[in-house]
A and B are shown apart, each in its own frame.
Chain A
Amino acid sequence: MVLIPNIIFYVLIFLSVYAQVFFLVTFFENRKKIVIRNGKTKLNKYETVTIVVPCWNEESTVYKTIRSLLALNYPQDKLKILLIDDGSTDGTWNIIRKFKKYPNIKIFQKENGGKYTALNLGLKHSETSFFGALDADTLADPESLIRIMSYFEKDKSIMAVVPSVVVYNPKNLIQNAQKAEYHMGVYTKKMLSFLGAINVTPGPLTIFRRKVFDDLGPYRHGHNTEDMEIAYRMQKNNCKIEHCNDAFVYTNTPNTIIKLYKQRLRWIYGFINNTIDYRDVLLKKKYGNFSLFILPTGVVSILAISYLFGRLVYSSINFIYLKFITFNTIGWNLSFKSYNFDLFFIDTSSYVFLVFLIYLLVIFGIVFGRRMSEGKWVLSFNMIYFLIVFRFLAPFWFLKAIYSTILKRKPAWR
């Protein structure tokens, strides 16, 4: 009876190692193609770009967001900014109104309808051949847009370019853990870009060719992850998405466990449900690595995390049960037994080495991601925070997302 759970366990570990090795091999294949530019970038031709800032109760961050757009190293007459208040109930509109005087900024106020409705309103009012959004809790690096646009200039077949999203001004442990996670995200995104398998075109400053929306239609609700739905739709229609690793966007991250939980629940719920909606794309040769590698890896990681959590709960209950039995049998025993540390009792099952290997590969991802975003090779405590925080918290949002999917309960935005 112990055999079946063990087989499942080893199959999941095999698949997890497979995924990490796949990324590593991709890295070694393509490492010479990773260019990190310094200083000002120049373009031969500056295309006009529309950037929409959808806002819903963002009074604390939106001002800086808009300022960062105005500070972009890009001709301001080639940049159309649309500020859209999606029915905020705080002071967001008052802040937005102040920017009305800028010739390249247009402001809108609408009833609350969700982020995708705000984006679609922006889409309706844009006439340029490039379109993007910038979430109102993020800041664009001055060089970000121009570097993204250089990708479009270089390759006419690229339909969308995503930036590197990094954490803005992390203050506490939760945010520092996310800093490491976002660094890994930069690495992963670049590898996905090489594989032609990017599965999210994130809200902060992904730039699309307008043609994408003309051909495939506007944004959809996408289970509150419209930025994932549009990426799935593009992959399904074989649109090329690239990652511009040296275009940086700084995002404000959740600073409490509860806020992080809500954000991740929404993301994972979105992943599960978009994958269900696009299940016909899964494991089909014609959709490439997106369908054969990335989606299955996502599914496996959801299974693995849930399963590992089950094991953890099982062994914890076992431990508590044993303590309970001991207590019941001999009562409280306060005499500290002489405990000799003995190397003999260290678990040396093969999975221990494999899990260790997975951690090493993840840390490599974080370190290289950081190298791509900060230009230096560093190890930091954030990686440890990340491994610990996410090891214990991630199962909660994963399981809740599965639970909500089964019961068809939609998680709130925040």
Chain B
Amino acid sequence: MIDWKKYLIVFFITAGLFLTAGYFSNYLGNKKIDQIKSIQDQIAINILSSETQFSLLQELSCNNVSASILSDELDDIGNKLEWGQKNLGSIDEVSYLKKYYSLLQIKDYLLMKKISASCKIKSAFILYFYTTAENCSECERESIVLSELREKYPELRVYSFDYSTDLSVVKALLKIYKIKDTELPALVLGDELLTGFHSIDELDAKVQKSFKLQETKSNGNT
């Protein structure tokens, strides 16, 4: 005799367990998104505060400007967003946070540029454009090069932008540097536009050159 009722009950229990597991997963995924969100809010406050502090005090007190605190946090958020995009289901939320992230990066970029120019802080900036819309193996390799370089030079700031980010500021950046989606990955180092893959040695030389330029400039000024 087949106990059909049991087959059915077990089916419902199993389905219940599936729903519970799905609920848990969703709950923790939302927690993670909230975590990113709250860190980003924190960063936004920090940037705004630095900006305000800077305009308040002008060049007078470069010593007081806390320069290096932000970018590490931005990196961390960048990694989390990338991971979230691959592993968390909620695509809308993550892409919203990505926009926010891009905006924060640009603000940080503008502020740091200003600070380093006025306060003569040794620094180099790379704007990095990649794509996730299509399979871009060169972008993957370029990312590896950049994170390696960042390890090597703490003064180097790399800001990465997804080409397909639907945000007017990012679009403006693309327009300024005339970046086309056929030429990805693209890098802006100083004022120079580099498209396609560039090896670590090549970029290393360029970064060092930009540090040197700053030194001669600051020497010339004094």
Contact = CB atoms under 8 A, between A and B. Distances in A.
A333 B10 CA distance: 53
A353 B80 CA distance: 22
A345 B24 contact: no
Contact of B22 (A289, A330, A335, A350): A350
A329 B17 contact: no
Please classify how large the interface on chain B is, using the bins under 10, 10 to 19, 20 to 34, 35 or more: 20 to 34
B89 to A, nearest CB: 8
Interface in A372-387: none
A288 B200 contact: no
Interface string B1-38: 11000110111011001101110110011001001000
B173 interface: no
Nearest to B29: A348
Interface stretch (A14-22, A250-258, A389-397): A14-22
A362 B74 CA distance: 43
A353 B24 contact: yes
B193 interface: no
Contact of A329 (B1, B14, B21, B145): B145
Interface string A6-44: 000000001001100110011001000000000000000
A300 B25 CA distance: 25
B140 interface: yes
Contacts of A351: 21
Contacts, number: 77
Q: Is the interface of A mostly helix, strand, loop or mixed?
A: helix
B80 A325 contact: no
Contacts of A17: 14, 17-18
B169 interface: no
A25 B141 contact: no
A333 B148 CA distance: 9
Interface string A345-363: 1011111111001000000
A337 interface: yes
Contact of A21 (B2, B13, B145, B151): B13
Interface of A: 14, 17-18, 21-22, 25-26, 29, 285, 288-289, 292-293, 325-326, 328-331, 333, 335, 337, 344-345, 347-354, 357
Interface of B: 1-2, 6-7, 9-11, 13-14, 17-18, 20-22, 24-25, 28-29, 32, 35, 80, 83, 87, 137, 140-141, 144-145, 148, 151, 199-200
26 contacts: A14-B18, A17-B18, A18-B10, A18-B11, A21-B13, A21-B14, A25-B6, A25-B9, A25-B10, A26-B6, A288-B2, A325-B137, A326-B144, A328-B141, A329-B144, A329-B145, A329-B200, A331-B200, A348-B29, A350-B24, A350-B25, A353-B24, A354-B18, A354-B21, A357-B17, A357-B21
Given A14-B14, A285-B2, 8 more contacts: A21-B13, A25-B13, A325-B137, A329-B145, A329-B199, A337-B151, A348-B29, A348-B32
